Structure 1
Amino acid sequence: MHLNLFLSLFVNVVVINLVKGSIVLPVRNEAFNKDLYEEVLDAELCDQQIQIIRNNTLMSLFFADAGMRVPRGVLEGNTMDMGNYHQCIGLNQNIADTELQGKYCMIRVPLNQTFVTPWMNSETNFNPNNLRLDNETIKSLREFYAMKNGMNALTGAVDVDRLAPNNPLASLTFRLAVCVPKPCTTEQAINSFAFNMTAVGFQYDDDFCRLPDDKPWVPGDTVIIVIFSIIGLLTVVSTSYDIWHTIILKKDPKTVSVIGRCFSVYTNGRRVMNFQSSPNSIECLDGIRALAMLWVVLGHTFSSVVFWQNPLDTFTWASSWQSLWITSAPITVDTFFTLSGFLVVYTALGKFNSMNW
């Protein structure tokens, strides 16, 4: 009773202070150093580098090749073109006493655009609703984006594709990669490389940009390095101790300290590579574990592949019975839980039977 009352008061106090702002929650460290992107911007230097790129055909082709293009497979559900990240980030050349470095950016371009041509005093509205799709394609696109939005909601993603009532293409937004010089903004680079596209109504939003070495060093990195360094040091010391006593001094392994050999690669490696069965082992479980592990590897291999070009085909295949051997791979987790429970009970019963009651 008193404990419940205390917990209720504690929760109320915390909530009230959070609302009032008395308690400030720690801000999560950003994955990328956003200040770095602002520090490298220089409009004058950007104009100089773009002029150099314009006068260098190879450099112009390089930036164009690593950057924006129309996504392939739009009718198959693909709205993204990733460009060539490593080609863009890897650019670092010195031309005309100027260091040219690439900056990889992603932009969001809505398909529904209104273009204005001042020299013709006219306005052109590209209406995607005029694009005619068959009912089967519309149905497939709706099912795919409904599934995609559901997955985004489960993972906490804020990006949700809102489909138009008549044509799914009308409300789509492309995510396109752009490779620009390091001191440039995407707007300055796009308008300078081609023509003033924003002046004619080309609309887009910046998503993010990446630069070489833009990930800040966080305390978690230090902790992980320290932990693995300690494990590595223990492994070296334990292996040296084991080899010195069992091989060089030729002592009986039973007389050597167990604690001193617990991290030994020599002793533990021999145990791992020993395929002899113990008298009380259940060998059929080894086969079940082997099949389960292979199934886990296979499932993770397919789930780790991102199908950008044909997500609609992937969705159709994943919804069919033919994909059960991949989509049912999570069942193997239950298999390991079942095996663990069985072995615990089996071992416990064996010990109970050996006791004198």
Structure 2
Amino acid sequence: MTSFLESSNPFNAYNKQMYRDALDFAECEKQLHFLTDSSMVLPFIDASAKMPSGILKLNHIAYGDYFECLNINNQAEDMHIQGKYCYLSVPSIQNLTMPLLYKLMEMPNFSIAELTNSEGFVSDLMETIEIKDTSLISVRLGMCIPKVCTLKQVGDYITSLVRVPKVEYIEGACRLPGDKMFTTSDYVAFGVFGMLFLLTFLSTSFDLYNRFIKKSRSKHVLLSSLSVYTNTKRLLNFESSQFTIDCVDGIRSLSMLWVIYGHTYVFQILSPAHNILDLMQWTMLFTSTWINTAPMVVDTFFMLSGLFCVYVLPNKMSPLRFIKSIHIFYSYRFLRTLPILGTAVLLQASIFHWITDGPDWDRMAYCVEACRTRWWATLLHIQNYIRPAGVCLLQSWYLTVDTQLYFVSPFVIIFLLISSTAAWCALTITFIASLAALAYYAAYYEYPSVLNGLWQTQNFADYYINFYMNTPTRASPFVVGMMFGYILWVHREKGLQLSKKFVTICWTISFVALAYLYLTIYMMVQLPYKFTYYDLFFNVVMRAIWAAIVGWIVLACKHGYGGLLNWFLSLPMWKLPSRVSYGVYMIHLQVILISTSGAVQTRYFTEMNTARRKGVLGPMMIV
């Protein structure tokens, strides 16, 4: 995902002119000579990183002290000495090979001489695999240097004073105090949110005045449409009709929490963790497999979307009537999702950029700049095909794909309104086509069925663009949802009578299929990974199987065959989380990204620490 983020230019989110104006070669030489014999050099040394510990645990980052560096501001003689935080990457001297992670724990005894001969050490020590991104095995160090200098100037000056081995390094980005620019996006964001706050305040005041002082309801409904009082009552009003599927509230809420927790663990890997090796080994445990299934849980939402786009159709609607009202079908979906999506885009393009800062803030800056330049592609739901490497909101790919599937669904829905035979022919053909598209992409690119295989064999950006957010490859659970939605729609009024034997068989198949998915994913995450036809087969069918399991749960619970599971999923406590799940989904990754991008030191992974972070993030998302 890091390489995916790098498709945007984060430096456009900063004041590049400030960086250029700060550089002064002659002044740099003067300040370096002065600092050589002055105690003022101590804050620079103290704020700069030292070689990180835990490298064998794959800790390759040492930040130093970001804020101490930027706070350096001294006057000496006729010089204004300020700190500038930069990072550099020291590439590994291994020849584009990297040891398999699981072999590191089987390390034999070795001598210092063997260790210094790194190429021979690695080849004798363990199996190796080719990697495509050498930055994965680089050591990143945060350095504090004078504001007027470049890293190269400082490096050349140090080597001229001290005889040290010449180390090759790659210069990274630098940061200065106050380098975040106030742009058009910020003016728009503060203007829009300020106006919304004002209108909300006025609308609430008007509503409360009419209700509690005049003791009468106003005829001007529009004037109280933004009232916090009225909208909160509507939000907490959970009236149900005979057509309501109550179990969906529990399914949607639990799936949302599952996705949040999964992203929390993923960003533990992508963010600065002190012991990534321990984390990677933890993800391969049987008890941790539920985390590896989190990407598949997103298919729950695709299934539910396909289900409801059919289930909500009016009874006895003719194909001609549906075609005439197609503009309502499209506009309802677009306008229903636009407010929260637009709010999330505006927050990402402006407000989130100012919340905090840190040595890894470039991660957030990538997303900020992407939203400032490509907001239109996100709002029009075409970002997965128009320069997909620069997605504005990383998680909004789901909404884009789901909206595209929703917009093409009428080509199938028309057949559902003709006859049962035409309906099942259309659904079957569409389902087979979705599996064929999935099989083609998975086979052509040899993509693994689980994400763990990607860390070794693939570029994550290619996988994300060509497979993960490609609409044809994500269509199968949506089509499965349409199948179950059609069954529910046909039996919406008269009910569905199933024999006890049939229900028992379906529940047995569902539990067996669930166990199959869990066990297969557990086996797939075990290293080393190698592309096989079975992996291809599993890649093709796993999402459809998952969608079918969830679809059966919805069908059984709706028609009285869910038992205790239906009771649990239909509890009133799920209704509020379910109702706000869309808003939570569109904002949760930004909260995680703010936390990881603003980190000033690496975190030590333990299951308890991550669970504690989940315990904070989960409820905070709901609130």
3-state SS, counterpart of residue 238 of structure 1: helix
Name the structure 1 match of 2:28.
46
Q: Is the 8 A contact 2:88 2:143 kept in 1?
A: yes
C-alpha distance after superposition, 1:202-252 (max 9, x if no partner): 332312111122233333333333332332232222222212222222113
1:105 and 2:86 matched: yes
TM-aligned CA distance change 1:342 to 1:112, over 3 Å: closer
CA distance in 1, matches of 2:248, 2:274: 41
SS in 2 for 1:208: strand
Q: Deviations over 1:112-138 (max 9, x none)?
A: 49xxxxxxxxxxxx75325457644x5
Percent pairwise identity: 36
Matches within 5 A, 1:149-188: 149=132, 160-161=133-134, 172-188=137-153
**Contact in 2 for aligned 1:106/1:208 (Cα 8 Å):** yes
Give the match for residue 170 of structure 2. Answer: 205
How far 1:193 moved relative to its partner? 5.8
Q: Distance in 1 between matches of 2:316 and 2:166?
A: 79
Following superposition, the deviation at residue 321 of structure 1 comes to 4.1
Alignment of 1:283 with 2:283, yes or no, is no
Gaps of 5+ in 1: 1-26, 114-125, 150-159, 164-171
Partner SS state of residue 330, structure 1: helix
Which structure has the highest helix share of the two?
2
- Cα deviation per residue 1:125-183 (whole Å; 9 max; x = unaligned)? x75325457644x54xx3xx74xx4xxxxxxxxxx2199xxxxxxxx543221111211
CA distance in 2, matches of 1:29, 1:263: 38
Say if 2:307 is the partner of 1:339. Answer: no
The code of the aligned residue for 1:278 comes to S
SS in structure 2 of the partner of residue 293 of structure 1: helix
Seen in structure 2, the aligned counterparts of structure 1 residues 162 and 271 have a Cα distance that, compared at 3 Å, is closer
Whether the 8 Å contact between 1:66 and 1:83 is mirrored in structure 2 is yes
8 Å Cα contact 2:70/2:176 also seen in 1: yes
Structure 2: runs of 5 or more not aligned:
1-8, 95-115, 318-491, 494-623
Please, which of 71, 75, 89 is the counterpart of residue 90 of structure 1? 71
More relative contact order in 1 or in 2 (CA 8 Å, sep 6+)? 2
**Residue number in structure 2 paired with 1:3:** none
SS of aligned partner of 1:176: strand
Give me the whole-angstrom Cα distance separating, in 1, the residues matched to 2:245 and 2:56. Answer: 53
Given residue 118 of structure 2, which amino acid in structure 1 is its aligned partner? P
> RMSD of the alignment, in Å?
3.6
2:255 alignment partner in structure 1: 292
Matched, 1:74 2:55: yes
Q: TM-score, normalised by structure 2?
A: 0.40
Residues 307 and 184 (structure 1), Cα distance of their counterparts in 2 relative to 1, 3 Å cut: closer
* 2: CA distance, partners of 1:63 / 1:28: 25
**Greater C-alpha Rg:** 1
Among 271, 279, 293, the alignment partner of 1:314 is 279
1:259 counterpart residue number:
222
Residues 87 and 174 of structure 2 are in contact (CA less than 8 Å); yes or no, is this contact kept in structure 1? yes
**What CA distance in whole angstroms lies between the structure 1 residues aligned with 2:284 and 2:51?**
28
Cα distance change on mapping 1:350 and 1:82 into 2, 3 Å: farther
CA offset digits 1:305-325 (Å, max 9, x no partner): 314433333334335544322
Q: What amino acid does structure 1 have at the position aligned with 2:292? A: T
Letter in 1 for 2:282: W
- What is the Cα deviation at residue 78 of structure 1? 3.5
Provide the C-alpha distance between the structure 2 equivalents of 1:205 and 1:302, rounded to a whole number of angstroms.
29
Query: Could you tell me which residue of structure 1 aligns to residue 484 of structure 2?
Result: none
> Does the Cα contact within 8 Å between 1:191 and 1:197 map onto a contact in 2?
no
Cross-structure match for 2:402: none
User: Aligned with 1:304: secondary structure?
Assistant: helix
Counterpart AA for 1:128: S
Q: Deviations over 1:183-214 (max 9, x none)?
A: 12223334556754698533323121111222
Distance in 2, matches of 1:96 and 1:243, equals 64
- 8 Å CA contact retained: 2:90, 2:139: yes
- Asked if structure 1 preserves the Cα contact closer than 8 Å seen for 2:93 and 2:118, the reply is yes
Whether the 8 Å contact between 1:33 and 1:216 is mirrored in structure 2 is: yes
Offset at residue 291 of structure 1 (A): 1.2
Residue aligning to 2:235: 272
Deviation, 1:42, is 2.5
Supply the distance in 1 between the matched residues of 2:34 and 2:205 (Cα, whole angstroms). 59
* Partner-residue secondary structure (3-state), 2:44: helix
Distance 1:100 1:245 in 2: 62
Alpha-carbon distance in 2 for matches of 1:237, 1:318: 51
When residues 133 and 197 of structure 1 are mapped into structure 2, their CA distance, relative to the original with a 3 A threshold, is: farther
Identify if the C-alpha distance between structure 1 residues 249 and 185 changes in structure 2 by more than 3 Å, giving closer, same or farther: same
CA change 1:72–1:290 in 2 (3 A) is: same
Cα 1:303–1:162 change in 2 (3 A) is closer
The equivalent of 1:35 in structure 2 is: 17
Q: Is the contact between residue 91 and residue 135 of structure 2 (CA under 8 Å) also seen in structure 1? A: no
Q: State the secondary structure of the residue aligned to 2:12.
A: coil
For 1:188 and 1:226, locate their aligned partners in 2 and report how far apart those are by CA, in whole Å. 44
Q: Which moved more, 1:345-354 or 1:291-300?
A: 345-354
Find 2:294's aligned residue among 325, 329, 333.
329
Counterpart for residue 244 of structure 1: 209
User: Moved runs in structure 1, 4+ residues, more than 6 A?
Assistant: 350-354
2:604 corresponds in structure 1 to: none
Structure 1 241/87 Cα, relative in aligned 2: closer, same or farther at 3 Å?
same
